Structure 1
């Protein structure tokens, strides 16, 4: 079973990336014509959608066929005249671009943990543009965030599913080496770090939708207890509502990696 089986609410409830992050990544991208983006593990296309206005050609890849269909449906209608898009169903580690197609920016948003990192990095070194940039970035998920209401929501999930974090029908693996170490061990070992803050407001139904979009709280994991879980979560979060919303202060940690002695524009 795919880790994200049953997470059909992914696009509706997963937050996209803020405009400030898209602008930061665009600024880090070297000049090129046509300017090319490869979005790895695109899911429903949230990262590609935010970055598409900056690029002439976009390729988005994902290992889940349903996610690819959602990305295609969202991205295709928003293309400007002359822009090119290709959404491909494949493992990121197996992807090879068309002959002569060299991305200037490769993005891994909230997905690097799930990948065979050495294999992906070796493959990228085969085809990324000579001065191309790899960007690995993520914000804190509800499981790892530390506000009072998010801690409470995580506790309710654990009451129903157990203390260990799920990854679909399995459990979440132990943390691997820090992303920066993985990058520094690759050809892309010139690494810089940036932090992009973001504030979000959630309704309780949106928190539920978000949880159901994750691998650790997918709907099928609750079985016949799903209705009881929803009631417990609603009751537990109600005291934290401010002005009709649950307020979240989060931040994206952004690692941009290049081959040595190559600078962006």
Structure 2
């Protein structure tokens, strides 16, 4: 399966504006792992999850097929970044205590990745995947964003996006599922931060490429009318879905 590169062109924007995941998610993952030696963060992007895992595990190997994404990744002494696909990793058999996939599983050749994860995960180790859906702010802003998401750039989303829209419903993990608590994913952003996030969307980039036109100025004007003072921060909420399973010991 050829690597689907939807983010290299806007890698620096992606690194700056992609939302971070809640700390209690990583606390929970660390508690589920019976050992905290090695965590493998798959399709790490610019390393949002890898950095959080590095605070809780002795070593993190973070793999990512995009060189541009890795060039923008946050460095830590115990993070080993490797440019390689999810389906063919250079990790040793049975070496990982935890494998994580954040907002990326829908891009994989799933059977090939699950085979590779089974090889790399040690007995008793945990595989965890998660995704987030379209954010919400308030009724007025949500309506404008929904029109942009479904209307303006709607035709430019890749078909794999449907997995996020359904919160990975129907995903079959290879081992017995772990009961996962509810996690809250929220950040306080001003208008420019929100627009930076919209700029990081793959559909925004594809719209620009195919139509030779930037759709963001128009939505900025619409959002500004509903937002108020642009520097004012508002709470941005994303529905976060987490699924996890444990390999038999």
TM-score by length of 1: 0.79
Q: Are residue 58 (structure 1) and residue 60 (structure 2) matched?
A: yes
Moved more, 53-62 or 198-207: 198-207
Q: Are residue 6 (structure 1) and residue 1 (structure 2) matched?
A: no
The gaps in structure 1 that reach 5 residues or longer are none
Contact 1:199–1:248 (Cα < 8 Å) also in 2? yes
CA distance in 2, matches of 1:46, 1:249: 18
C-alpha change, 1:175 and 1:42, in structure 2 (3 Å) is closer
Q: 1:93 aligns with which of 80, 87, 90?
A: 87
Q: Secondary structure at the match of 1:26?
A: helix
Contact 1:189–1:257 (Cα < 8 Å) also in 2? yes
Q: 2:157 aligns with which of 156, 166, 179?
A: 166
Q: Deviations over 1:152-179 (max 9, x none)?
A: 1231355544x43423xxx556549974
C-alpha change, 1:233 and 1:216, in structure 2 (3 Å) is same
Once the two structures are TM-superposed, the CA of residue 70 in structure 1 deviates from its matched residue by 1.9
CA distance in 2, matches of 1:252, 1:173: 15
Contact 1:41–1:111 (Cα < 8 Å) also in 2? yes
Once the two structures are TM-superposed, the CA of residue 216 in structure 1 deviates from its matched residue by 1.5
Contact 1:156–1:232 (Cα < 8 Å) also in 2? no
Q: Are residue 123 (structure 1) and residue 110 (structure 2) matched?
A: no
Q: Are residue 155 (structure 1) and residue 147 (structure 2) matched?
A: yes
Residue aligning to 1:183: 172
Q: 1:206 aligns with which of 193, 200, 215?
A: 193
Once the two structures are TM-superposed, the CA of residue 48 in structure 1 deviates from its matched residue by 0.5
Contact 2:53–2:60 (Cα < 8 Å) also in 1? no
Contact 2:66–2:83 (Cα < 8 Å) also in 1? yes
Residue aligning to 1:238: 224
Q: Secondary structure at the match of 2:75?
A: helix
Residue aligning to 1:22: 26
Q: How does 1:61-72 map to 2 (within 5 A)?
A: 61-71=63-73
C-alpha change, 1:41 and 1:103, in structure 2 (3 Å) is same
Equivalenced residues, count: 240
TM-score by length of 2: 0.84
C-alpha change, 1:140 and 1:173, in structure 2 (3 Å) is closer
Q: Deviations over 1:61-116 (max 9, x none)?
A: 01101112222xx123xx3xxxx33211111011131x466010100011111111
Residue aligning to 2:75: 75
Residue aligning to 2:213: 225
C-alpha change, 1:175 and 1:256, in structure 2 (3 Å) is closer
Contact 1:190–1:259 (Cα < 8 Å) also in 2? no
Structure with more relative contact order (C-alpha pairs < 8 Å, separation 6 or more): 1
The gaps in structure 2 that reach 5 residues or longer are none
C-alpha change, 1:94 and 1:240, in structure 2 (3 Å) is same
